[in-house]
Copies of this chain bind each other. A is one copy, B any other.
């Protein structure tokens, strides 16, 4: 028997348990070209919040009363497709459930890198690609640049810190609380800002980067984005990856320093990792090298059991995770 988390209600603001229901799903026989996958790891990501709204965006909204989807790593247990056999490990998008029937073309074998399978949902998967392409291609960060990254203890942010260090950049990361800040520092960040310290982010960032910042990697929006405007050097580039601050509240973003866009000739570029998938070989090559050199560290916050998936998801918004948030089925 298979089970999946269904979206029962569209959340108003911060989601609550009653917005989701864990239900049995039919165990269908396979069509040609399909495989049955037993999921081992489920990805838990902030962008999923957007799909719970009934708003057209880059990813279609989750349908009400239907199983939700998301990244997952699983093992093929039955196959009617050439090229995939029982025992093969694959990454795919039929998460939020323990077992899935998918087209073989929608499943990707785990890349041949020396890492555990769940890493391909984090630093060696979408969040890692988001960090890599956002920093190096979208923001065009270069050696010598001063880079500010928010949510630096998250799956994306912690990878930004390490890629930036490996490329000879000065890195300022923000995180909430002493434990996460220590960890971000241990990853090689030159300065760490504790956004829960009570001191303003603008003031902390200006102290950490007295000459200003060249690059801002935004996972957060809000006060962090405003601080980046306040401290941007001439020609600064912002890669806008996420604005978790406002995913639940819907409150307007208040920006005191946005007019510096003009004087500092700031370039702000929104991006989605999905636009960069055709460049994935560059990512695997470069990350493989860093991995082999021991230059990549990774943490995971693992929540056990399919039943706990909504709790894991809500934890993203209270800062419960260090590194990648995962559910181990």
Q: Which of A's residues lie within 8 Å of B, judged by CB? A: 50, 57-58, 221, 240-243, 246-247, 250, 252-256, 258-272, 275
17 A-B pairs in the complex with CB atoms less than 8 angstroms apart = A50-B263, A58-B262, A221-B258, A240-B261, A243-B259, A246-B259, A247-B259, A252-B255, A253-B254, A253-B256, A254-B254, A255-B255, A263-B272, A264-B270, A265-B269, A265-B275, A267-B269
Which B residues are CB-close (under 8 A) to A260?
270
What CA separation (Å) do A275 and B269 show in the bound complex?
21
What CA separation (Å) do A50 and B264 show in the bound complex?
14
Which B residues are CB-close (under 8 A) to A50?
263
Which residue of chain B has its CB nearest to the CB of A225?
Answer: B258
Q: How many copies does the complex hold?
A: 2
Which 3 pairs between the two chains have the least Cβ-Cβ distance? A261-B270, A268-B268, A252-B254
Kindly provide the distance from the CB of A228 to the nearest chain B CB, expressed in whole angstroms.
13
- Cβ of B255 and Cβ of A262 under 8 Å apart? no
Which residue of chain B has its CB nearest to the CB of A271?
Answer: B265
Which B residues are CB-close (under 8 A) to A268?
261, 266-269
Which B residues are CB-close (under 8 A) to A272?
262-263, 265
Which B residues are CB-close (under 8 A) to A254?
252-254
What CA separation (Å) do A83 and B282 show in the bound complex?
58
Can you name 19 extra interface pairs (CB under 8 A) apart from A252-B256, A253-B254, A267-B270? A50-B263, A221-B259, A240-B261, A243-B258, A243-B259, A246-B259, A247-B259, A250-B256, A254-B254, A255-B255, A261-B268, A261-B270, A262-B272, A265-B275, A266-B268, A266-B270, A267-B267, A268-B268, A268-B269
What CA separation (Å) do A58 and B242 show in the bound complex?
30
What CA separation (Å) do A166 and B268 show in the bound complex?
28
- Cβ of B275 and Cβ of A262 under 8 Å apart? no
Which B residues are CB-close (under 8 A) to A261?
240, 268, 270
Which B residues are CB-close (under 8 A) to A240?
261-262
Kindly provide the distance from the CB of A149 to the nearest chain B CB, expressed in whole angstroms.
16
Which B residues are CB-close (under 8 A) to A253?
254-256, 258-259
